[in-house]
Amino acid sequence: MSETANERDGTWPNESGPFIVLADASSGLEASIIDSWVQEHSKDCHEPIDEFRLPASRRRRPFASVDTAIGERLSAEDDPLCIPIRVAWLAAERDGVRQVRLIDVLKPGDPRDPNALHQRLILLRHADRCRIIVGEPARRSNLESRWSQPSGRGPADGTTFGEYVALQAWLSLERAERAIRGQRYKVPRFLREDLFWSRPFQSGVERLAEELNRPVKRMRRRTSRYLKEIAAQHSPYVIDVVNGITSRLIASAHQSVEYSKDDLAAIYSLADDFPLVFLPSHKSNFDHLVFQHVLYENELPLNHTAGGINMNFFLIGPLLRRSGIFFIRREFKENEPYKFVLKQYLDYLLEKRFALEWYVEGGRSRSGKLREPRLGLLAYVVDSYQRGIADDVILVPVSINYDQITDISSYAAEQRGRSKDSESFVWALKFIASLRRRNGSIHIRFGEPLALSSQIRRDTDLESDEGRLALPKIAFEISTRINAVTPVTSISLVTLALLSQENRGLTIDDTMEVLGPFTQFLTERNIPTTFALPLDSPQIVESALEDLVASGVVERTDGMTARVYSISVDQNLAAAYYRNTIIHFFVTTGITELAIGMNILEDEDMTLETIVYRALELRDLLKFEFFFSSTEAFAREIREEVDRYEIEDDNAPAVDIDMEAMMPPKSPIVLRPFLEAYFVVAETLMTFGDDRVEKDACAGLCLSMGEQLLAHGDITTPEAVSTVLFASGLKLADNRGLLDGTAAKRTEFRDQMADILVVLREIDAIGESYESAVTGERQSLVHHE
């Protein structure tokens, strides 16, 4: 059905005058269109109408250029109704949708912001693309009351009433135009006028100038420069273009993006009342574009996403900034003006309920598992909440997981000691080129949202003992919720199976047999997967193996009767990356097995409490690797695990374990790489004797020691030779005082790690014996038949 003029254009307000028309026109033609529309729609109005032209909101709009005659008219004794009006130019309609396509990039100019010549051509050929937008009108008395309020985000001293009215007119028109263009274009377009020249910002500038003994004008210029450096500058044109490019890249590199529209809608139902903060995991440089694409396709406002200033390079930086990235310096602890501007910017976004986004890990995970959370931006948001900027803030955990990623080779190289590639335009082109290879699907899952008000009180002193724990607890809870919804993929399971075999490949049947206990584990505990459980389809396993062959992670040997798959040379770290994305689901079980094994081999009376004691020791050892529950909750989890293996006997004081129920063991598969990496760290520390150890210097030496121990057979998993795992091991050593410690303390640590690895080998041997017995029994049954 075609649209009528009344459906397309705004309407004259049904209120009494007198009236002031505030025309937001970028050209004489737009001013003429607005004037004609006013005359046509106010024919029945017999009250005075004064019309003033505002500086064009789509152009540079310094307050100083606002017509002083507006202020003079507003100073009269009457109470006129101010009516903001502008002309909007829409993109061409294709398939019922109006948005800028990639083909439009080849044409000069933004179709939503045409120059005067293009405006005339559009009006002649495609008049339906020209719309009149009427913002919500307001009485002078109402505007004056808001302007003169002594508190809140009102205008700073020196801002004239006419300038304030112009700003309110622009903001009103932006809201009205979004009703036509859609919520995906909800962006803050008047930062300088609405934020920089606000009362809180300018009073803060004056305070800083006084504290730092600087002239106010100089401090104003400095903070203005910082705001320009930090703030995103959304452009509807660039938003459309970037999404068009992203759509092409997704189609080129991935089969699909899987997520729940219902879950997304439920989250955004909260956005009417509270600002949202999305906290995704960070697996790839593609994460931001993928998540932005999901929001765009659902016609939701795009997030303001924090990015490192290192991403603000030639061509790519401006595109990212105009599509929603705001850039933050890596270090600014001593720069008080910079911190002030960042705080004011975040306050503004939260107050206006613009959604925020940053990666809770800070940077991309090189190992596959979730990294330790960074607290910097979270601290700013908590501070804003405590100061009453928002009634509440909703934190949304998001898991972004891939079947495979293009970054994998660079991650493996960095874990072997190669320095990280510097971001640049050439680097970006290489990354885009790498997206030509098919990498399966992308899986986005939303964790249960977390209301900040449920985690911290407004009056909590963050410097108190309780307060210092508040931020880490919130970040920990977000991380555990991300882990809980991260789905197990067929790729991650297959790599887990292949890495469990030392110097042995697997057929498809072998792989399914190895995975049997793991898929049973997933089924029993209702763990999310990207495939249906139980995994009884050889086709799913074969597809995953072949995808890994195509990417070079796995090699295939075509034999006479079967195909054999094994990890390719030097690809253990790549395979371990995919395995590590799901390893957190098995850690508690692995620790329980290892604790039981330690009790058995040390010939202790095995009670439930001795198992829990050993498990807590292992928890402390691995506390920098995984997100564990509180001590009490973790002890309870261990007791529940033991219940799965215990032979019921109410009269027996000791725990009697059904070893067959534990078979095949999971601890060697799950824990060995991390424990062997810590053993490498321990051996490296031994070489320093009593000398103090510098952590950075030791990291490189750990690589050499790891290669030596692997070649000699002291460790058996190549993926244990990883700078990421060594970094955690050194953090543990530092936590235990071993970097400053004596040779005796370092020897004690090395012996502890060696003893644990012995237990793991014994558990492995028990598992191999069990497997041999099962295989023999199966062959006997076949022979009997």
The better pLDDT of the pair 184, 498 is held by 498
Confidence of residue 652 (pLDDT cuts 50, 70, 90): low
Percent of the chain whose predicted confidence (pLDDT) is above 70:
93
What are the phi and psi torsion angles at 379 (to 5°)? -65, -40
Looking at 95-104, 321-330, 756-765, which range is the least confident one?
A: 95-104
Q: Is the pLDDT of residue 484 over 60?
A: yes
Instruction: Kindly tell me if the per-residue pLDDT of 775 is higher than 70.
Output: no
Alpha-carbon span 680 to 691, nearest angstrom: 18
Angle at 270 between CA 268 and CA 276, to 5 degrees: 75
Please, are residues 615 and 595 in contact by the beta-carbon 8 Å criterion?
A: yes
Mean pLDDT value across residues 481-491 = 96
| Type of residue at 184 | R
Q: Give me the residue label for tokens 């999310």.
A: 528
Structure tokens at 41: 């729609």
Residue 4 has a pLDDT of 35
Please say whether the beta carbons of 714 and 758 come within 8 A: no
64: pLDDT strictly greater than 90? no
Output Rg (C-alpha) for the chain, integer angstroms.
Answer: 32
Tens digit of each residue's pLDDT (9 = 90 or more) over 372-384: 999 989 999 999 9
User: Average pLDDT of the chain?
Assistant: 88
Q: Are strands 356-357 and 276-280 parallel, antiparallel or unpaired?
A: parallel
Rounded CA separation 397/394 (Å): 10
Residues 64-68 have a mean pLDDT of 77
The secondary element (H helix, E strand) that includes residue 782 is: helix 743-784
Q: What is the band of 3 on the pLDDT scale with cuts at 50, 70, 90? A: very low
* Side-chain half-sphere exposure of 549, counting CA atoms within 13 A: 14
- Residue 148: the pLDDT is 77
Q: How far apart are CA 683 and CA 625, in angstroms?
A: 19
pLDDT (0 to 100) of residue 776: 55
Q: How many residues does the chain have?
A: 785
State how far the Cα of 663 lies from the Cα of 767, in Å rounded to an integer. 6
What average pLDDT does this structure show over 411-428? 83
What is the DSSP-derived secondary structure letter of residue 356? Answer: E
Among 575-579, 691-695, 709-713, the least confident range: 691-695
527-572 tens-digit pLDDT: 999 998 888 889 999 999 999 999 999 999 998 889 999 999 889 9
The token pair at 547 is 């995808």
Cα(first)–Cα(last) distance of the chain, in Å?
74
Lowest-pLDDT range of 193-197, 323-327, 395-399: 193-197
pLDDT at 781: 47
Could you please report the per-residue DSSP string of 523-589? Answer: HHTT--BSSPSS---HHHHHHHHHHHHHTTSEEEEE-SS-EEEEEPTT-HHHHHHHHHTTGGGTHHH
Please state the rounded mean pLDDT for residues 733-746.
Answer: 91
Beta bridge partners of 52: 22
Q: Which of 40-49, 85-94, 104-113, 337-346 bottoms out in mean pLDDT, i.e. has the lowest? A: 104-113
> Looking at residue 153, what is its pLDDT?
59
Split at pLDDT 50, 70, 90, the class of 102 is low
Q: What values do phi and psi take at 105, rounded to 5? A: -65, -30
Report the distance separating Cα 327 and Cα 518, nearest Å: 43
Rounded Cα–Cα distance for residues 309 and 283 (Å): 19
Residue 695's pLDDT band, with cuts at 50, 70 and 90, is: confident
Q: Are 672 and 720 in contact (CB under 8 A)?
A: yes
Q: Which of 99-103, 263-267, 409-413, 625-629 has the lowest mean pLDDT?
A: 99-103
CA distances from residue 636 to 588, 606, 632 in whole angstroms, order as listed: 11, 17, 6
pLDDT mean over 244-271: 92
Would you state the pLDDT for residue 383?
93
Structure tokens at 192: 């300088």
Give the Cα separation of 681 and 727 in Å (integer).
9
The amino acid occupying position 283 is K
pLDDT of 785 > 60? The answer is no
Please give the structure tokens belonging to residue 491. Answer: 């790729």
DSSP states of 477-537: HHHHHHHHHPPBPHHHHHHHHHHTSSS--B-HHHHHHHHHHHHHHHHHTT--BSSPSS---
- pLDDT tens string 195-221: 888 888 999 999 999 999 999 999 999
For residue 18, whether the previous peptide bond is cis, meaning omega lies within 30 degrees of 0, is: yes
Tens of pLDDT, residue by residue over 27-56, are: 999 999 999 999 988 888 888 899 999 988
Contact 293, 246 (CB under 8 A): yes
Pairing of strands 97-98, 93-94: antiparallel
Q: In the structure encoding, which two tokens stand for residue 204, read together?
A: 């803060």
Taking the C-alpha atoms of residue 462 and residue 781, their distance in angstroms, rounded to an integer, is 67
Q: Determine the Cα–Cα distance for residues 612 and 637; give it in Å rounded to an integer.
A: 9
Residue 659 or 303, more confident: 303
pLDDT in tens, 493-516: 999 999 988 778 999 999 999 998
Residue type, 367: S
Angle at 315 between CA 309 and CA 316, to 5 degrees: 55
Among the residue ranges 242-246, 594-598, 727-731, 774-778, the one predicted with the least confidence is 774-778
Provide the pLDDT for residue 468: 86
Rounded Cα distance, 729 and 720, in Å: 11
The reported pLDDT for the residue numbered 414 is: 86
**pLDDT bucket at 600, cuts 50 / 70 / 90:** confident
Q: Is 327 helix (H, G, I), strand (E, B) or coil?
A: strand
3-state percent helix, strand, coil for the chain, nearest multiple of 5: 55, 10, 35
Per the structure block, which two tokens stand in for 233? 């500058």
Distances (CA, A) of 260 to 264, 296, 298, 304, 527: 6, 15, 11, 22, 17
DSSP label at 78? S
Tell me which of 316 and 753 has the higher pLDDT: 753
**41 with 129: CB under 8 angstroms?**
no
Name the residue among 240, 241, 358, 340 with its Cα closest to residue 304: 358
